[in-house]
Amino acid sequence: MEVTIERILPGGLGLAHAEGKTVMVALAAPGDRLRVQIDRVKGNVSFASIEEILTPSPLRVEPPCPYFGRCGGCDFQQMHYQAQLEAKAEIIKDCLRRLARIENIPDFQITAAPNPWHYRSRAQWQYDSIRQTLGYFESGSRQLCDVAACAVLAPELENTLESLRARMQEGLLPDSARDFRAVVGDEAVSIAPSIRSPTVREGSDSIKDSAEIRDITRTIHGETYRLNAESFFQANDGLLPQLIDTAIGEASGETALDLYCGVGLFTLPLARRFKHVVGVESDPAAASFARENLANARLTNAEVAIRDVGVWLDDVKRHDLSRLSEESAAVLQGQMDFVLLDPPRTGAESRVIAGVLGLKPRRISYVSCDPATLARDLKKLLAGGYTLHSLAAFDMFPQTHHVETVVHLVVA
Ligand SMILES: C[S@@+](CC[C@H](N)C(=O)[O-])C[C@H]1O[C@@H](n2cnc3c(N)ncnc32)[C@H](O)[C@@H]1O
């Protein structure tokens, strides 16, 4: 079948219409004239892959990575960088229009990454000890694409991947490892394997035993964060100062909440602007780093609850203040000035949105790495009495369709 790509959809596929069908094509560029092969059909939509580029879009470039097309990591290398940014802005608008039903989307900027290549300071590599392969999952599958070099990794992580590969070839990686996560610090790289079975954790060849899950320090926008490869941290340092400034904006006042706070990326700067801050994070290791980071910064006006955000907000809603610390309870009884939420890709659960609305904050800042779940949650927040004040996007993930969005809401 021959198609012309109209635009890029949320999820990164190119949209086309032909022979009465809606066709979604992987790794396409807007304006491409393509011969495609239908791989699967779901309802009215045919999912296709490119057989031949009949007329390339003017936005198309030769993907520089030899693994492109097979590796599931990047799906935008076929477009030049400006076209990637435009496609991402369209993706955000599409989600807000279709899923959040926002008619007048305010003008917004998408901030380009300072480095469209070699930017990733955090990565996860899959490992197959039987086939002796190390790399990323292939697109849409659990097959492993063996990757010797990756063009979006920061140089420190390229070196780490190379040295893990060398150790694999010498038979020195633990068979029990399923994957390796790594994060760059100011002084070193922290590496953590995920181990298949807890029993083999005892093995003497385990990287875990060789004390390589070291804690590292990251200095971002004047704040110092301790963390290691097992905790979440943003993957693109280059844009973090702007992301933090935009997420917090001019906000200041009495009380702020930092939901899904991780190791405290936003909690520390919030604690410098608000009298009382509570962070909530379910991963005990990340939460304990957040506490350590606040203590090291001598910020005694913030605390971190190690809880599921939904459960924590339910306790607040039920006024079950006995389950909250004295400090949290006191803070939550007053007027909430600012709630920042930065959930994982799946977005916030309904009870989280209901819990946030119940707190009646003056302002909400939603930081999201998925425009579709952001739009879904935004619809509920708008219906709950808030209005969209501003919107900004950051290209934290060049060469992929992923994009970070920050939305500020105020009481309508
Ligand atoms: C996108 S990260 C944001 C972390 C932090 N704001 C940052 O920028 O570094 C989401 C965080 O939410 C945590 N998390 C995921 N689900 C959660 C839940 N139900 N309750 C509390 N924390 C959760 C994860 O462990 C992770 O640290």
Per residue, what are the HEC states of 48-92? EEEEEEEECCCCECCCCCCCECCECCCCCCCECHHHHHHHHHHHH
Band (pLDDT 50/70/90 cuts) for residue 212 is low
| Residue 329 reports pLDDT greater than 90 | no
Q: What is the mean predicted confidence (pLDDT) over 403-410? A: 98
- Report the DSSP pairing between strands 404-411 and 363-368: antiparallel
Q: What is the mean predicted confidence (pLDDT) over 318-324? A: 71
pLDDT of residue 332: 72
Atom 1, ligand 1: residue with shortest CA distance = 344
- Report the DSSP pairing between strands 33-42 and 45-55: antiparallel
Band (pLDDT 50/70/90 cuts) for residue 201 is very low
Q: What is the mean predicted confidence (pLDDT) over 185-195? A: 92
- 202's CB contacts (< 8 A; 6+ apart) are none
Q: What is the mean predicted confidence (pLDDT) over 294-310? A: 97
Band (pLDDT 50/70/90 cuts) for residue 321 is low
Distance 286 CA to ligand 1 centre (A): 9
CA 313 to chain centre: 23
pLDDT of residue 211: 46
Phi, psi of 367 (to 5 degrees): -105, 125
Distance 344 CA to ligand 1 centre (A): 6
Q: d(Cα 386, Cα 333) in Å, to the nearest integer?
A: 21
| Residue 394 reports pLDDT greater than 60 | yes
| Residue 217 reports pLDDT greater than 60 | yes
Question: Is the CB of 365 inside a 6 Å radius of any atom of ligand 1?
Answer: no
| Residue 202 reports pLDDT greater than 90 | no
Percent share of the chain, pLDDT over 90: 88
Are 25 and 36 spatial neighbours (Cβ–Cβ below 8 Å)?
Answer: yes
Question: Residues 210-220, buried b or exposed e (16+ Cβ, 10 A)?
Answer: eebbeebebeb
pTM of structure? 0.94
Q: What is the mean predicted confidence (pLDDT) over 92-98? A: 97
Atom 25, ligand 1: residue with shortest CA distance = 283
Question: Is the CB of 225 inside a 6 Å radius of any atom of ligand 1?
Answer: no
Band (pLDDT 50/70/90 cuts) for residue 369 is very high
Task: Considering the candidates 65, 74, 95, 369, report the single residue annotated as catalytic.
Answer: 369
Place of tokens 């962070």: 279
Candidate of 233, 236, 260 to mutate for ligand 1, largest count of ligand atoms within 8 Å of Cβ? 260
Question: Is the CB of 232 inside a 6 Å radius of any atom of ligand 1?
Answer: yes
Question: Rounded mean pLDDT of the chain?
Answer: 93
Are 177 and 200 spatial neighbours (Cβ–Cβ below 8 Å)?
Answer: no
Q: If you compute the radius of gyration of the chain from its CA atoms, what whole number of angstroms results?
A: 23
| Cα–Cα separations (whole angstroms), residue 336 to 355, 360, 364 | 12, 7, 10
Q: What is the mean predicted confidence (pLDDT) over 220-239? A: 96
Band (pLDDT 50/70/90 cuts) for residue 206 is very low
Are 78 and 67 spatial neighbours (Cβ–Cβ below 8 Å)?
Answer: no
Distance 281 CA to ligand 1 centre (A): 6
- 209's CB contacts (< 8 A; 6+ apart) are 203
Question: Is the CB of 290 inside a 6 Å radius of any atom of ligand 1?
Answer: no
pLDDT of residue 385: 97
**Full 3-state SS string of 367-396:** EECCHHHHHHHHHHHHHCCEEEEEEEEECC
pLDDT of residue 203: 39
Band (pLDDT 50/70/90 cuts) for residue 318 is confident
In DSSP terms, 302 is beta-bridged to 277
| Cα–Cα nearest to 94, from 5, 3, 8 | 8
pLDDT of residue 195: 80
CATH of 237-411, one of 3.40.30.10, 3.40.50.300, 2.50.20.10, 3.40.50.150: 3.40.50.150
Parse the chain into domains and list their residue ranges.
1-60, 122-219, 237-411
pLDDT of residue 198: 52
| Cα–Cα nearest to 152, from 181, 118, 116 | 118
The larger pLDDT score, comparing residue 194 to residue 86, is at: 86
Q: Which homologous superfamily is 1-60 in?
A: Nucleic acid-binding proteins (2.40.50.140)
Atom 26, ligand 1: residue with shortest CA distance = 262
Residues 143-185 pLDDT 10s:
999 999 999 999 999 999 999 999 999 999 999 999 999 999 9
Percent share of the chain, pLDDT over 70: 94
Q: If DSSP codes are grouped into helix, strand and coil, which group holds residue 45?
A: strand
Atom 11, ligand 1: residue with shortest CA distance = 260
Question: Is the CB of 308 inside a 6 Å radius of any atom of ligand 1?
Answer: yes
Distance 350 CA to ligand 1 centre (A): 16
Atom 12, ligand 1: residue with shortest CA distance = 260
| Residue 317 reports pLDDT greater than 90 | no
Question: Is the CB of 267 inside a 6 Å radius of any atom of ligand 1?
Answer: no
Q: In what side-by-side order are the strands of the sheet with 133-137? A: 144-146, 133-137, 122-128, 177-184, 189-195
Distance 341 CA to ligand 1 centre (A): 9
| Cα–Cα nearest to 189, from 160, 227, 154, 232 | 160
| Cα–Cα nearest to 257, from 342, 313, 338, 321 | 338
Atom 15, ligand 1: residue with shortest CA distance = 344
Question: Is the CB of 286 inside a 6 Å radius of any atom of ligand 1?
Answer: yes
Which ligand 1 atom is at minimum distance from the Cα of 349? 19
Distance 300 CA to ligand 1 centre (A): 22
Atom 8, ligand 1: residue with shortest CA distance = 265
In DSSP terms, 408 is beta-bridged to 365, 390
Band (pLDDT 50/70/90 cuts) for residue 319 is confident
* The two structure tokens encoding residue 360: 């009646």
pLDDT of residue 140: 84
pLDDT of residue 209: 44
Question: Is the CB of 146 inside a 6 Å radius of any atom of ligand 1?
Answer: no
Place of tokens 């934290």: 396
The larger pLDDT score, comparing residue 47 to residue 140, is at: 47
Q: What is the mean predicted confidence (pLDDT) over 31-52? A: 97
Which ligand 1 atom is at minimum distance from the Cα of 232? 27
Establish whether 369 is a catalytic residue.
yes
Question: Is the CB of 407 inside a 6 Å radius of any atom of ligand 1?
Answer: no
